[in-house]
Each structure stands twice: as C-alpha cells, then as structure tokens.
Amino acid sequence: MVVIRDMTDARRTDEVRRDFVANVSHELKTPVGALGLLADTISAGGDEAVTMQLADRIAREAERLAKIIDDLLDLSIIESQEMPERDLVPLTLIVDQSVERSRPGAEALGIKLVSSPISATLAARCDRRQVVMAITNLIDNAMKYSERGSTVEINTSTTSNLVEIAVCDEGIGIPSRDLERIFERFYRVDRARSRATGGTGLGLSIVRHIAQAHGGEVAVESTEGIGSKFRFRIPIESAGAMRMFEEAPTNLGDLHG
C-alpha cells in the first residue's frame, strides 16, 4: 500500500515561518547595529554637542527596538488566542479611547483628529483592549503618511449585522500594486518613511488578525496623492442588548481601565 501525503500546507507553513524569522532578524538587526555604531562613536570621545546628538539617536533607536518587540509580543498573543475574551462594549468608548491615545502624536505632527458622533446604543461584543489597539494602529498609520495641517477622520457606520469604523486620511496614498500586501507582516510601501516615523511593519498585520479573531475583516481603499480609507468591521450587538447593558448595575468606570 502506498500512502501519499499532501505536503503543500506543511511546505507553505514552513515558508511562512522562514520568511517571518528572516524578517524579524532583519528588523531587529537594523536598530541593534545602529546602537552599536553610535555607542562606539560616543566612546571615542569628541565634541559635546555631537555626543548629545548621538545620545538622542541612541534613545530613539532603543525606543524603536522596544516597539518592535512589543508589537511582536502583541501579535503572538493575538495569533495564539482561538477566541479572545469578549464583553459588551459601547462603540463610543472604543473610538474615544483610540482617539485619545493617538492625540499626543497628532498634536506633535500638527494633524487634526475628527471623529463623527456615535449613537449611544451601538455596541460590540469584543475584547476591548484588542479593538482599541486595532483602531489606534489605524489612526497612527494614517498620521504617519499625512502632511502637517491635514485631517484624519474616524467615522462609524452600521449595516444589518456589522459595525464599521473607518479611518480616513488626506495622505500620500498607497500604490494599487501594494494594496493586497499591506496587511502582511513587515510589509512596507515606503521603508525609509516608515522607519523614520517609528513604524515597525507590524501594525496593519495586528489590525487584520484582531478583526479576523472577532469574526470581522479589514479593508482599504486608496488613491495616490489623495489619501486612504481603512475600514475595520466586526459584528454589531443589538440595541436591546445595549439597553440591558446600560440598565445593569455595573460600575462603568471599570471599563476605562
């Protein structure tokens, strides 16, 4: 008897794993190498002003390295969870927290964040921390590719069974050839700009995994020179369930933790 196994999936998994390890190694090697060179330059002595500039550069490279590690850990946790913990969460809370997390960066970049009014009856049964992370990532991504003085809008809408949180920018846009790949781990349209703005190449991949873990999806529309629109969609909870939530004797202050 001859047994034939289809190894296609196994080979694909191995290829994905090898690519991931190679990408991680490359992404970590860049800031680590920079830290080593900067440290050597400082140890050689020299002008105090130059030393201060190098010390500032070391701090920024260390911060970038920490961000890559944090994103890797977040992605690992999200991918390993078959079903995230879910609570009934008002959409206003999700959007408000996401905007507030992004506001300091927006103010530093001179970018205006505008969110549309959201009905108090709209809610999603979700892992609040994860969904806030996803929307924050989308807002931060929009800001990285937008010019000073531009606006990033966060709009919420619903269909019969989905809630959509759309993040719209007036940035440089994404070439059509890159649209299908931007949610891949470590894929960047403009590597130099992404690194210069502190990007890790993992933010959009995290967004996609969070959406899928909640039975939803993320999509993007973009026109070069005009801007991009990212749509994050997850199942909506009924207004009746939201009313029950509002009437329950729960300390809503706990939700802001």
pLDDT given at position 197: 54
Predicted local distance difference test score (pLDDT) of residue 251: 47
Please report the sign of the dihedral spanned by the C-alpha atoms of residue 55, residue 56, residue 60, residue 61. Answer: negative
Distance CA 168, CA 155 (A): 8
Say what the pLDDT of residue 223 is: 93
Torsion of CA 188, 219, 122, 248, to 10 degrees: -60
Domains of the chain: 7-80 (1.10.287.130), 87-242 (3.30.565.10)
Confidence at residue 27, expressed as pLDDT on a 0 to 100 scale? 63
Q: What is the pLDDT of residue 164?
A: 95
Angle at 139 between CA 163 and CA 110, to 5 degrees: 140
150 within 8 A of 112, measured Cβ to Cβ: yes
pLDDT of residue 80: 73
Encode the chain (257 residues) as per-residue pLDDT tens digits. Answer: 444 445 465 565 555 556 555 566 656 666 677 777 777 777 777 677 777 777 777 777 777 777 777 777 777 777 776 666 789 999 999 999 999 999 999 999 999 999 999 988 889 999 999 999 999 999 999 999 899 999 999 999 998 789 999 999 999 999 998 888 889 887 777 655 555 555 667 889 999 999 999 999 999 999 999 999 999 999 987 655 555 445 555 444 455 55
**What is the rounded CA–CA span in Å between residue 158 and residue 216?**
13
**Contact assessment for residue 211 and residue 218, using Cβ atoms and an 8 Å cutoff:** yes
* Structural Rg of the chain based on CA atoms: 21
How many residues are given for the chain? 257
Amino acid 252: pLDDT: 44
pLDDT of residue 180: 86
d(CA 101, CA 214): 22
